[in-house]
Amino acid sequence: MVGAFLYLTACSFKNRLRRRVQRLREPRYVIGLIVGLLYMYFAFFARRGRSRSAEGVSALAAMAAPMQLFGSVFLLATAAIAWVWPGGGQPLAFTRAEVQFLFPAPVTRRELVHYKLLRSQLAILFGSAIATLVLRPGSLAIGWTLMAGLWVVMMTVRLHLMGVALRRASLAAHGASGLARHWLPLAGVIGAAGVLAAAVVGAWPALRTADSGEAVFGALQQLAAEGAAGVVLWPFRALVRLPLAASAAAFWSALPAALALLVVNYAWVLRSDTAFEEASAEHAERRASRRAAPRAVVRGGTATPFTLGPDGPPETAILWKNLILVGRYVSLRTALRLLPLIVVFGLMTRSTQAGGVTAFIGALSLPLAAMAVLLGPQMMRNDLRQDLARLPMLKTWPVRGAALIRGEVLAPTVVVTAVAWLLLILAAVLGGGLKPGSREATAFVAHRASYLAAAFVVAPAIILSQVVVQNGLAVLFPAWVAVGASRARGIDAMGQRLFMLAGILLTLVVSLVPGVMAAAALAFLIYQLTGAVPILLSALIVALVMAGECWLAIEGLGRILDRTDPSAVEATE
């Protein structure tokens, strides 16, 4: 059976690689690959050379001590969360095809577990290699020990999480009695957390009076290595020691303990005979549905943004549809995710003397508005990027390509503009965080209305321009754009994304030039005549010129879309 699994794994790897190589026949993918490789070279190798010559020591050696402490705590937290987090301990993840081929086949559960371990090797080896590159070990020998150590850590974590998943599935299968037996791991986690908390509380006076960060860190290191806390953290520290070994001798000395942990977890997983097939099959279905749909959950029953009448341009219908997409995904849970951020903001405000929450929000709103304008169009994808997967259906609609694109770009523009306007109003009303009474604050207040109006006018034009570029790229280079919920992978895809981001920013700058030049010329003329600078009029000219550019671009893109063959929109892996 192992032969069949090896064959499946090798074929999958080979064919995936072949598909990526085949993609390189198209120049756009070659460009993407070159950009991706250059990025990796400058990000890892060139930086590594510089750091060696400048500092003479590797980043790894410098970070070994903090990484050992935080790494072991992180591993403890990972294990604890897997045991106690509701919904944690996901069943073994199989794809739909694996469920269909392997589950009905004469394969034992133990063999299925081995198969999953085999399949995880590629990801673990790749992850170890990338982490080794990022951590930049000082020499090749240390590089190999680092990579091997990382493999042992990742493999042990993988085995432990697999064991937790099987154990929790087994407990759940036993109903109430099984859940009652869950008290043991729960007690273990609570006990470990209690031991660590007690150790920190005990050492708190010393930590409080420590006169430097180094002293605090030294005390924490001592805490983690001694007493009850040292015992709790020992397995995690033993694992983390391996990749952080500063020499081959240190590596060999740390290896037996780490390997023992790996073997214990492996034996634990193999001893389990939990019937995970049903849960895994359900999980595979859910995962496949999530890939097909843009998000996991769509809530029904929410009101539509407005009533769609039978008459009017098709653009409004597409806007209506895409606004519904936003409404159906925004939920209380989404709002609650922002709660920690708000709490942190509140705490930060309390710690500053800037005049409380209102001044803080005022100061924060302006950069957030700028972020919304510049990053919002990248994040808000309720447009053609989302619909491109349904291009065959869209092409049956009696709608010109240009009208379709116009309708598609409206929704993200409307939503991001609304957010930007709200933040601009907050920034203007709450004073922009300037020190009350200062000259800047007085000038700002005097011209506040003009600035606000100008920003109100220019913001949608800048947002629209970027959304048009994003959708234009989807029309011109459909294979470069993440279609629907899927996302292309690989160095070439990463290069394409970097290339696209640079292209979007460049296009934004270029699209601003004609409007800014026209506005500057008019403003200069009016200034010469009246001595005043017409801020709002200048902003209006910039916005109108950009809107005109967008209109022309959409008309051109529409003609291309009309000729686009849906087969050009390839499915991403």
The answer to whether residue 301 forms part of the interface with other proteins (CB under 8 A) is yes
Q: Is 1 helix (H, G, I), strand (E, B) or coil?
A: coil
352 binds other proteins (CB under 8 A): no
Positions 120 through 149 that interact with other proteins (CB under 8 A): none
Compute the distance between CA of residue 394 and CA of residue 317 in angstroms, rounded to an integer: 13
Helices within 181-241 (DSSP H only): 183-209, 213-225, 227-241
What string of DSSP letters covers 457-522? HHHHHHHHHHHHHHHHHHHH-GGGS--TT----SHHHHHHHHHHHHHHHHHHHHHHHHHHHHHHHH
What type of residue is 540? L
Window of 246-254, 293-301, 331-339, 553-561 that interacts with other proteins by CB under 8 A: 293-301
As a whole number of angstroms, the longest Cα–Cα distance in the chain is 90
Among 55, 565, 570, 573, contact with other proteins (rule: CB under 8 A): 565
Q: What is the smallest separation between the CB atom of 391 and other proteins, expressed in angstroms?
A: 8
Q: Write the DSSP symbol of residue 188.
A: H
The least distance separating other proteins from the CB of residue 558, rounded to whole angstroms, comes to 12
In angstroms, rounded to a whole number, what is the distance separating the alpha carbons of residues 367 and 515? 24
Contact with other proteins (CB under 8 A): which of 217, 329, 345, 444? 329
Q: Least separation, in Å, of the C-beta of 479 and other proteins?
A: 16
Asked if residue 298 binds other proteins (CB under 8 A), the reply is yes
- Residue 289 in the binding site for other proteins (CB under 8 A): yes
Number of residues that bind other proteins (CB under 8 A): 36
Least Å from the CB of residue 387 to other proteins: 8
* 475 belongs to the binding site for other proteins (CB under 8 A): no
Q: Does residue number 27 form part of the binding site for other proteins (CB under 8 A)? A: no
Pick one of 106, 300, 340, 531: the residue that binds other proteins (CB under 8 A): 300
88: amino acid identity, one letter: G
Smaller CB distance to other proteins: residue 319 or 428? 319
Choose the stretch contacting other proteins; rule: CB under 8 A; options: 87-95, 239-247, 313-321, 449-457. Answer: 313-321
Output the smallest distance, CB 102 to other proteins, in A. Answer: 24
Is 218 a binding residue for other proteins by CB under 8 A? The answer is no
Name the segment binding other proteins (CB under 8 A); options: 151-159, 309-317, 346-354, 490-498: 309-317
Give yes or no for residue 562 binding other proteins (CB under 8 A): yes
Taking CB under 8 A as the rule, does residue 559 contact other proteins?
no
Q: How far apart are CA 191 and CA 30, in angstroms?
A: 55
Our CB check for other proteins shows the closer of 295 and 447 to be: 295
Taking alpha carbons only, the member of 71, 384, 104 closest to residue 236 is 71
DSSP string, 342-369: HHHHHHHHHHS-SSHHHHHHHHHHHHHH
Q: Name which of 260 and 293 has its Cβ closer to other proteins.
A: 293
Q: Which residues contact 416 (CB under 8 A, 6 or more apart)?
A: 372, 373, 376, 377, 380, 463, 467
Site for other proteins (CB under 8 A): which residue of 311, 336, 531, 532?
311
Q: Please say which residue, 484 or 515, places its beta carbon nearer to other proteins.
A: 484
Q: What's the one-letter identity of residue 192?
A: A
Q: Should residue 104 be labelled a site residue for other proteins when binding is judged by CB under 8 A? A: no
Does residue 398 belong to the site contacting other proteins (CB under 8 A)?
A: yes
Helices H / strands E in the chain, number of each:
23, 0
Candidate residues 147, 361, 380, 399; the one interacting with other proteins per rule CB under 8 A: 399
Using the rule CB under 8 A, which residue among 25, 208, 333, 563 binds other proteins? 563
Cβ 289 to other proteins, closest distance in Å?
8
Told to check if 312 binds other proteins by CB under 8 A, we report: yes
Report the nearest approach of other proteins to the CB of residue 409 (Å): 17
Pick from 288, 290, 286, 294: nearest CA to 485: 294
Is residue 321 close enough to count as binding other proteins by CB under 8 A? yes
- Whole-angstrom distance, CA of residue 508 vs CA of residue 377: 12
Which span (9-17, 123-131, 161-169, 325-333) binds other proteins, by CB under 8 A? Answer: 325-333
Burial of 525 (0-12, 13-18, 19+ CB in 10 A): exposed
Given 6, 179, 198, 293, the residue binding other proteins (CB under 8 A): 293
Torsion on CA atoms 397, 402, 404, 409, rounded to nearest 10: 170
Rounded least distance, CB 562 to other proteins, Å: 7
397 binds other proteins (CB under 8 A): yes
Residue with tokens 């460049």: 506
Q: Which spans in 45-135 are helix H?
A: 47-55, 59-84, 96-102, 109-135
**Token pair for residue 16?**
């995936």
571 binds other proteins (CB under 8 A): no
- Is residue 567 near other proteins by the rule CB under 8 A? yes
Q: List the one residue from 108, 304, 331, 352 that touches other proteins (CB under 8 A).
A: 304
Which of 89-97, 189-197, 428-436, 563-571 is the region at the interface with other proteins (rule: CB under 8 A)?
563-571
> Which CB sits closer to other proteins, 403 or 430?
403
CB 239 within 8 Å of CB 156: yes
Minimum distance between the CB of residue 323 and other proteins, rounded to whole angstroms?
A: 10
| Tokens matching residue 564 | 């686009």
Q: How many Å apart are CA 265 and CA 262, to the nearest integer?
A: 5
393 counts as binding other proteins under rule CB under 8 A: yes
Residues with Cβ within 8 Å of 196's Cβ and at least 6 positions away in sequence, in order, are: 76, 229, 232, 233
| Binders of other proteins in range 32-61 (CB under 8 A) | none
* Contact between 320 and other proteins per CB under 8 A: yes
d(CA 561, CA 404): 9
Helix spans in 103-182 (H): 109-135, 140-173, 175-180
Q: Does 390 bind other proteins (CB under 8 A)?
A: yes
Give CA–CA dist 477/171, Å, rounded: 50
Binding site for other proteins (CB under 8 A): 289, 292-294, 298, 300-301, 304, 308-312, 314, 316-317, 320-321, 324-325, 328-329, 390, 392-393, 395-400, 562-563, 565-567
